[in-house]
Amino acid sequence: MSERYPHLKQSDPDIYNLIQKQAKYEATTLKMIASESFASISVMEACGSQLTNKYCEGYPGARYYEGNEFVDQIENLAIERGKQLFGAEHVNVQPYSGSPANQAVYRSILNVGDKIMGIPVTDGGHLTHGWKVNFSGKDYVQIPYAPDPVTGKFDMDQIRGIALRERPKMIWTGTTAYPHTIHYKDFAEIAHEIDAYLVADIAHINALIIAGVHPDPVPHCDIVSSTSHKMLRGPRGGFLLSKEEDRLHGKYHPESKLNLAKRIDRAIFPGLQGGPHMHAIAALAVAFKEAMTPEFRMYGKQIVDNARTLAQGLLTRGYELAGGGTDTHLLLIDFRKKDFTGKDAARALAQAGIIANFNQVPGDHRSPFVTSGVRLGTSALTSMGMKETEMDQIAAWIDRVCRNMENIDTVAPKIRAEIEEQCGRFTVPGYSDL
Ligand code: DSN
């Protein structure tokens, strides 16, 4: 690898060396945390640019600081590309990340104390979908729903029953650990029936939607929220897509005279945030441009093909998967019947060079601190260029780890060496292609 950060190396060797070590670690192990992928060098260059110095509170053409000729053009480009990519009427690219984006969703359509429907974290939801220790569970009342514990899939009749009984003012659809297709149209029918807003959180699956291998939420949802990193391969950040006008005419919101787009913008700034992170917005514009290419759509499709092959490789070797398989980028190995926990398995896999996380599975009897599952994702490996052959090999390595939990200290280094050899045949942006 040629030298990438010559100034940093000289001025702060401690941080330089740690960044290099992390980069090498990620390039020589299997990055299978389902929410991670690899940003391109162009994205990283924009993110590391002089734009980090600029303050420009407000929106293009209406800022509270001077000197915005170029940053206005950058933010407008990001917005226009976002609109084109997702077919959205309105785009806000200023959220600092997914959690602030979701906070703005609440602030733009609801009042504190309102009921919302969301999936608890322990069932594969997100903290911001109403979890008790998060602002969303403290300021709003979560009505929980979850995948069926037996099938691992959403039971739309059951979800409709909860919605009709509880009449929440907003329904979240979106998960961090659901391996199956989300049918937004079905959720929209339920939301319309009870005059609730429908908001999709697509942080985990945005590239699959762009690639056309997962249904599109934009026509069916009032607001769509996303992070810009994860499988989209942009910078750390978030964005919001919405309709211009409000289907419910601000029914639950004090500022109902404003349209939906305006309320979202106001919720972000000045409601929740100050100066936009222009370096991240520029990098997001770059990522949106990359996501418009045929290569990106092939990446989105290959992510799913890889996940399916990995799932098949595990099923063939006798493992159980939550919901029986996957339609997306992720799968959950179900270790409920094993005498080791998800945490034990995740630790052992990491020792062997397979980096994932322990995660609860539907019907889990173990606590969230140990769990009975491991969540695996294929986005990062697909970005490296790995395909079906490599996925089957990975299933074999996972099997070897799980069959050798008792003597993992002996087995793990051997597998780790094999993994390093496999990774060496692929490309990691910013590491092996320099
Ligand atoms: N931390 C993310 C995940 O791993 O799913 C959610 O934001």
All domains in the chain, ordered by first residue: 29-39+294-428 (3.90.1150.10), 46-291 (3.40.640.10)
Ligand 1, atom 2, lies closest to the CA of 35
In whole angstroms, give the CA distance from residue 87 to residue 68: 27
263 neighbors 250 (Cβ within 8 angstroms): yes
pLDDT score for 121: 94
In whole angstroms, give the CA distance from residue 247 to residue 163: 18
Asked if 155 is an active-site residue, the reply is no
Instruction: Specify the 3-state DSSP secondary structure of 144.
Output: strand
Asked if 193 is an active-site residue, the reply is no
Q: How far is the CA of 287 from the centre of ligand 1 (A)?
A: 19
Instruction: Specify the 3-state DSSP secondary structure of 162.
Output: helix
pLDDT score for 253: 87
Peptide bond into 270 cis (omega under 30): yes
User: Please, where are the H alpha helices in 167-293?
Assistant: 184-193, 206-210, 260-266, 278-291
pLDDT score for 254: 78
Distance linking the first and last C-alpha atoms of the chain: 6
Positions in the chain short of pLDDT 50: 1
Degrees, nearest 5: CA angle 123-124-125: 100
225 neighbors 374 (Cβ within 8 angstroms): no
Torsion of CA 282, 285, 289, 292, to 10 degrees: 160
In whole angstroms, give the CA distance from residue 90 to residue 397: 45
The two tokens of residue 321 are: 């998967």
* One-letter amino acid of 66: E
Is the CB of residue 128 below 6 angstroms from any atom belonging to ligand 1?
Answer: no
> Residues 36, 55, 72, 320: which is the catalytic one?
55
pLDDT score for 433: 64
The two tokens of residue 194 are: 């009870």
pLDDT score for 434: 54
Ligand 1, atom 5, lies closest to the CA of 176
Is the CB of residue 29 below 6 angstroms from any atom belonging to ligand 1?
Answer: no
> Residues 57, 155, 216, 420: which is the catalytic one?
57
Is the CB of residue 362 below 6 angstroms from any atom belonging to ligand 1?
Answer: no
- The helix (H) or strand (E) run that includes residue 141 is strand 141-144
Q: Is the dihedral of CA 98, 101, 105, 111 positive or negative?
A: positive
Which residue matches tokens 């986005």? 379
Q: Which of 326, 297, 98 is nearest to 209 (CA)?
A: 297
Cβ partners under 8 Å of residue 186, min gap 6: 156
Asked if 5 is an active-site residue, the reply is no
In whole angstroms, give the CA distance from residue 249 to residue 238: 25
What DSSP designation does 195 have? T
pLDDT score for 4: 82
- The helix (H) or strand (E) run that includes residue 160 is helix 156-166
